[in-house]
Amino acid sequence: MLRQEVSPTKQPLLFLQLAFSSTFFAGLFQASLGFLRLGFIIDFLSKATLIGFMAGAAIIVSLQQLKSLLGIVHFTPQMGLVPVLSSVFHQTNEWSWQTILMGVCFLGLLLLARHVSMRRPRLFWTSAGAPLLSVILSTLVVFAFKAQHHGISIIGKLQEGLNPPSWDMLHFHGSYLGLVMKTGLITGIISLTEGIAVGRTFAALKNYQVDGNKEMIAIGLMNIVGSSTSCYVTTGAFSRSAVNHNAGAKTAVSNIVMSITVMVTLLFLMPLFQYTPNVVLGAIIVTAVIGLIDVPAAYAIWKIDKFDFVVMLCAFFGVLFISVQDGLAIAVGISIFKILLQITRPKTVMLGNIPGTDLYRNLHQYKEAIRISGFLILSIEASINFTNTTYLKER
């Protein structure tokens, strides 16, 4: 959105000012939703939606790693299935057999470690330590054999240190104020939706609850602070969360450890990763995300509720063929339509008396229930209001 008004190449300083200002307004909007107790909005992300989102995102993230696993240099930045596959098969001349060989070896090692930890829970450390071992071994191999000169892409030299403060670059006045507010609002909604979807996805895997209000406040404050430390709009990362989950992390303390590790690395250890091959990082991500495709859960939804299964498919194919945001939006829209349908077209069931009691139950569910002669007793499975009175009269 900002690129349509300001060129990042011709006016880089102004573009950075507007980007950081948009991040501030995105965080302000997100935190405001939390403080206003609007966290109930996340309830529209049903379990069916999350299962479809999780599977679609896992496939897309895995396909994106083909750039690293095949050694492709010119790769599409788009996330859709069609452009990714098109980019892969149109760049076959860039495939590197050395990269593919290394990728297969380390991908096999990571999958083996994951399988061992699943079959023998006491050996959970194998899955947790395999990514670190892979990074160390691959870095040593590249350094020893100068593999970067033989088709293996490496991370290369990265800038050390932390981002400089940027609070003096925030732009709260002038002709661009409306643009940064609009950009902040839209990007805030998108990043909040993705972050909460990722959070609820992993919450479902570990059977814990996510407080929507706290999530909104946390993501909002993160972006407000981030706008003052040279950060763009940030949200919960699907691939990094998957790697964290695959490593066996149980609590948020893992994020503290990870943050400290990243800070120490940025300050002191960056030269050690200069020879780390990108193919190993791609293999680590693929290993982490493929376990998030839950086929048994999808089959269970099919058996329980066909409409929810359609919602799940919409989320899955929407994420796969369009984008993460559009896939979630389509699934949520269909879920809301289902709720409206249940309100405006409520089910009615006939009740019968359970002999010897004052209880009345569904005649189709309770075979022992007896219909009262001369009376028709109905149960309406929704509140009666102006949206369904005409329908009920016609029934």
Q: pLDDT tens for residues 356-378?
A: 888 888 888 888 888 888 888 88
Share of the chain above pLDDT 70, in %: 99
**What average pLDDT does range 220-241 have in this prediction?**
86
Cβ-contact 212, 196 below 8 angstroms = yes
Check residues 118 and 223 and name the one with the higher pLDDT. 223
Sign of CA dihedral 317, 320, 323, 327: positive
pLDDT value of position 27: 93
| Mean local confidence (pLDDT), 10-30 | 89
Residue 135, number of CB atoms within 10 A of its CB: 18
Grade residue 1 by pLDDT with cuts at 50, 70 and 90: low
Phi, psi of 351, deg, nearest 5: -110, 150
Residue 389 and residue 254 share a domain: no
The CB-side HSE value for 103 (13 A sphere, CA atoms) comes to 26
Mean pLDDT of 331-353: 86
* pLDDT tens by residue, 144-203: 888 888 888 898 888 888 888 888 888 787 788 888 888 888 888 878 888 888 888 788
Comparing 393 with 229, which gets the higher pLDDT? Answer: 229
Residues 209 and 330 occupy one common structural domain = yes
Domain count for the chain, please give it.
2
Mean pLDDT score of the chain, rounded to an integer? 86
Domain boundary (317, 340, 363) is at: 340
For 72, residues 6+ apart whose C-beta sits below 8 A from its C-beta are 66, 87, 88, 91, 94, 95
Domain that holds residue 355: 347-394
Q: Could you tell me what percent of the chain has a pLDDT over 90?
A: 19
220 with 247, same domain: the answer is: yes
Q: Name the residue with tokens 């932390």.
A: 162
| Region 9-25 average pLDDT | 87
Are the CB atoms for 285 and 243 separated by under 8 Å? Answer: yes
Structure confidence at residue 32 as a pLDDT band (50, 70, 90): very high
DSSP state of 188: H
Could you say which DSSP state residue 3 is in?
Answer: G
Mean pLDDT of 80-89: 88
Same domain, 73 and 206: yes
Residues 267 and 140 placed together within one structural domain of the fold: yes
What CA–CA distance (Å, rounded) separates 221 from 204?
25
Which SS3 state, helix, strand or coil, does residue 374 take? coil
pLDDT at 346 over 90: no
Sheet holding 348-353, edge to edge: 360-362, 348-353, 378-380
Residue 206 or 106, more confident: 106
Secondary structure element (H or E) that encloses residue 102, with its range: helix 97-119
Residue 383 has pLDDT above 90, yes or no: no
Same domain? 211 vs 329: yes
* Chosen domain end from 295, 313, 340: 340
Is the pLDDT at 9 greater than 80? The verdict is no
Same domain, 324 and 380: no
Let me know whether 264 and 375 are in one domain: no
Angle at 166 between CA 36 and CA 19, to 5 degrees: 65
Helix, strand, or coil (residue 230)? coil
Same domain, 41 and 171: yes
Rounded to an integer, what distance in angstroms lies between the CA atom of residue 350 and that of residue 355?
16
Residue 240 has pLDDT above 80, yes or no: no
pLDDT surpasses 90 at 273: no
Could you tell me the pLDDT band of residue 39, with boundaries at 50, 70 and 90? confident
Burial of 128 by CB count in 10 Å (0-12 exposed, 13-18 middle, 19+ buried)? middle
Cβ atoms < 10 Å from Cβ of 39: 18
Shared domain check, 373 and 253: no
Same domain, 18 and 64: yes
Q: Are 348 and 381 in contact (CB under 8 A)?
A: yes
- 388: tokens are 């369904």
Q: Are residues 334 and 356 in the same domain?
A: no
Separation in Å, CA 294 to CA 44, 155, 284: 20, 33, 19
